């Protein structure tokens, strides 16, 4: 398959001289998604307009036909960044195209506004600063990149927040309470307690995906539960932050989970749940077994909550939002939400 991307003014037919149309429609008139049959120097091909100025040329498997057609396209004046792609897009044209694609993935006014603002030429300037011969300019562009990369990447996809802990500490209740409190839920996928269940929420205009997990315990003798546990532990390597939920009335930690959390790099919040029970009784809570936490260096906060009453939930959401976005971006800054160089 060859991906073809053209600037808005380009005349598609002028690049496709080798193409003999088998369908009763011209390339310029082809609606998006219409399959056009034909041949290219004897090779059967199928051409589809995938978006306004983007096309796919499908030919038989293997690299020879692709190479041959790419050569023809290059002779017609198109650039090929990688084998299987050809374009005459300018940098700014490419930014406009990827911005439009990215906008479809933004689910909040804030993220959409920030992505839309990137079309004004600031990414072009930022890319030229990055490549600048002046050390000062390129250094400060690299620093900017480091500071904003995570925010930029999450304009179009939610930060993943893993909710982990032993069975029965209240992980699912916590997600339900948060999703219920947030009027801005985007979706909530039902599933069994053994599956990963996700709920998308919005906090301060940023998108987050809370991922409920099977409770982790070492003494499970059920194969299904063990598979769920393996899945929960695997998620710890594939999320941007972790809420470690514990039952505040026990203060104990599960050792398998703690061993895994010791290796984790992403920030962890210890969430002491069931605060309502603690505050009802004389018992002010069993202190967290601090020695278990000592070697878990990624813990950055501890929050008391009650999934039952909603106590402490706003503090937890503040931790989530501020961990993801410690500093709110100003609307005028460059946020490189796509790879600026190479194929997009
Ligand atoms: N009193 C009280 N009970 C809770 C709270 N959160 C959860 N529970 C109860 O704890 C039990 C386990 O909750 P669940 O959410 O299924 O725990 P999970 O196994 O960690 O997902 C249920 O009976 C809940 O009603 C809470 O904040 N306070
Ligand atoms: Mg559960």
On average, the pLDDT of the chain sits at 85
277 and 169 in a common domain: yes
Query: Tokens standing for 192?
Result: 């069994």
Q: Which atom of ligand 1 is nearest to the CA of 212?
A: 21
Look at ligand 1, atom 10, and give the residue with the nearest C-alpha: 170
Residue among 170, 245, 249 to mutate when testing ligand 1 (max atoms within 8 A of CB): 170
191 and 51 in a common domain: no
Please return the burial class of 163, using the count of CB atoms within 10 Å of its CB with bins 0-12, 13-18 and 19+. buried
Contact 169 CB / ligand 1 (< 6 Å) = yes
296 and 175 in a common domain: yes
Q: What is the pLDDT of residue 232?
A: 83
d(CA 47, CA 29): 13
The CATH number that applies at residue 29 is 3.30.70
Q: What is the pLDDT of residue 295?
A: 81
304 and 173 in a common domain: yes
**Which contacts qualify for 61-65: CB closer than 8 Å, 24 or more apart?**
65/40
- End-to-end Cα, the chain, rounded Å: 16
Asked if residue 305 belongs to a domain, the reply is yes
**How far does residue 2's CA lie from ligand 2's centre (Å)?**
46
Query: Tokens standing for 180?
Result: 């219920």
CB 119 within 8 A of CB 99: yes
56 and 175 in a common domain: no
Residue among 166, 173, 257 to mutate when testing ligand 1 (max atoms within 8 A of CB): 173
196: pLDDT confidence band, cut at 50, 70 and 90? low
Asked if residue 147 belongs to a domain, the reply is no
Residue 55 has pLDDT above 80, yes or no: yes
Residue whose C-alpha is closest to residue 242's, from 250, 233, 251 = 233
Contact 171 CB / ligand 1 (< 6 Å) = yes
Work out the number of other CB atoms within 10 angstroms of the CB of residue 82: 10
221 and 81 in a common domain: no
Look at ligand 1, atom 19, and give the residue with the nearest C-alpha: 168
261-302 pLDDT, tens per residue?
999 999 999 999 999 988 655 555 555 666 677 788 899 999
Contact 249 CB / ligand 1 (< 6 Å) = no
Show the CA angle centred on residue 197, arms to residues 218 and 192, nearest 5°.
Answer: 70
**How far does residue 233's CA lie from ligand 1's centre (Å)?**
21
Phi-psi region of 312 (alpha: psi -120 to 50; beta: other; left: phi over 0): left
**How far does residue 199's CA lie from ligand 2's centre (Å)?**
13
82 and 198 in a common domain: no
Distance of CA 321 to the CA centre of its chain: 16
Strands (E), the chain: 2-5, 19-21, 35-40, 43-51, 54-58, 85-87, 159-165, 197-203, 206-212, 241-247, 268-273, 299-304
Look at ligand 1, atom 3, and give the residue with the nearest C-alpha: 274
Residue 324 has pLDDT above 70, yes or no: yes
The DSSP secondary structure of 92-141, one letter per residue, reads HHHHHHHHHHHHTT--SHHHHHHHHHGGGTHHHHHHHHHT-SSHHHHHHH
CA distances from 189 to 165, 239, 242 (A): 20, 18, 20
Contact 306 CB / ligand 1 (< 6 Å) = yes
CB 198 within 8 A of CB 226: no
pTM exceeds 0.75: yes
**Residue 193: domain span:** 159-311
**Between 52 and 170, the higher pLDDT residue:** 170
Q: What is the pLDDT of residue 282?
A: 53
Proximal ligand: closest to the CA of 192: 2
202: pLDDT confidence band, cut at 50, 70 and 90? very high
d(CA 268, CA 69): 52
Asked if residue 149 belongs to a domain, the reply is no
Asked if residue 214 belongs to a domain, the reply is yes
Residue 70 has pLDDT above 90, yes or no: no
Contact 308 CB / ligand 1 (< 6 Å) = yes
301 and 175 in a common domain: yes
204-256 pLDDT, tens per residue?
999 999 998 877 777 777 888 788 888 888 888 899 999 999 998 877 777 88
Asked if residue 306 belongs to a domain, the reply is yes
Q: Which residues pair with 3 in a beta bridge?
A: 56, 85
Look at ligand 1, atom 12, and give the residue with the nearest C-alpha: 168
- Among 149-158, 180-189, 319-328, the range scoring the smallest mean pLDDT is 180-189
298 and 169 in a common domain: yes
Contact 307 CB / ligand 1 (< 6 Å) = yes
Residue 167 has pLDDT above 70, yes or no: yes
304 and 163 in a common domain: yes
The CATH number that applies at residue 275 is 3.40.50.300
Q: What is the pLDDT of residue 39?
A: 92
Q: How many domains are contained in the chain? A: 2
Q: What is the pLDDT of residue 181?
A: 65
Q: What is the pLDDT of residue 250?
A: 79
Contact 277 CB / ligand 1 (< 6 Å) = yes
214-226 pLDDT, tens per residue?
777 777 778 887 8
CB 38 within 8 A of CB 22: yes
262 and 165 in a common domain: yes
């Amino acid at each position: 398959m060859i991906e073809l991307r053209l600037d808005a003014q380009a005349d598609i037919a002028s690049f496709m001289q080798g193409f003999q149309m088998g369908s009763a429609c011209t390339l310029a008139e082809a609606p998006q998604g219409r399959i056009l049959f034909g041949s290219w120097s004897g090779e059967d091909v199928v051409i589809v307009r995938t978006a306004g100025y983007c096309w796919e040329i499908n030919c038989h498997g293997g690299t020879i036909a692709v190479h041959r057609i790419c050569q023809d396209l290059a002779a017609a004046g198109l650039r090929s960044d990688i084998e299987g792609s050809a374009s005459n897009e300018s940098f700014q044209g490419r930014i406009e195209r990827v911005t439009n694609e990215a906008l479809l993935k933004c689910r909040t006014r804030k993220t959409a506004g920030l992505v839309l603002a990137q079309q004004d030429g600031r990414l072009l300037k930022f890319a030229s600063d990055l490549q600048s011969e002046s050390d000062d300019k390129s250094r400060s562009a690299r620093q900017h990149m480091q500071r904003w990369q995570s925010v930029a990447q999450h304009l179009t996809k939610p930060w993943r927040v893993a909710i982990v802990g032993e069975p029965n500490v209240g992980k699912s209740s916590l997600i339900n309470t948060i999703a219920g409190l947030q009027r801005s839920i985007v979706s909530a996928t039902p599933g069994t307690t053994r599956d990963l269940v996700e709920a998308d929420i919005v906090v301060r205009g940023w998108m987050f995906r809370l991922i409920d997990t099977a409770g982790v315990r070492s003494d499970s003798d059920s194969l299904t539960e063990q598979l769920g546990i393996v899945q929960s532990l695997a998620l710890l390597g594939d999320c941007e932050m972790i809420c470690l939920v514990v039952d505040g009335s026990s203060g104990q930690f599960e050792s398998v989970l703690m061993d895994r959390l010791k290796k984790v790099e992403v920030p962890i919040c210890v969430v002491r749940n069931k605060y309502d029970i603690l505050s009802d009784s004389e018992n002010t809570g069993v202190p967290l077994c601090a020695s278990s936490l000592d070697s878990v260096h990624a813990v950055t906060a501890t929050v008391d909550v009650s999934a039952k009453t909603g106590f402490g939930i706003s503090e937890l959401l503040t931790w989530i939002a501020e961990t993801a976005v410690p500093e709110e971006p100003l609307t005028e800054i460059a946020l490189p939400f796509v790879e600026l160089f190479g194929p997009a």
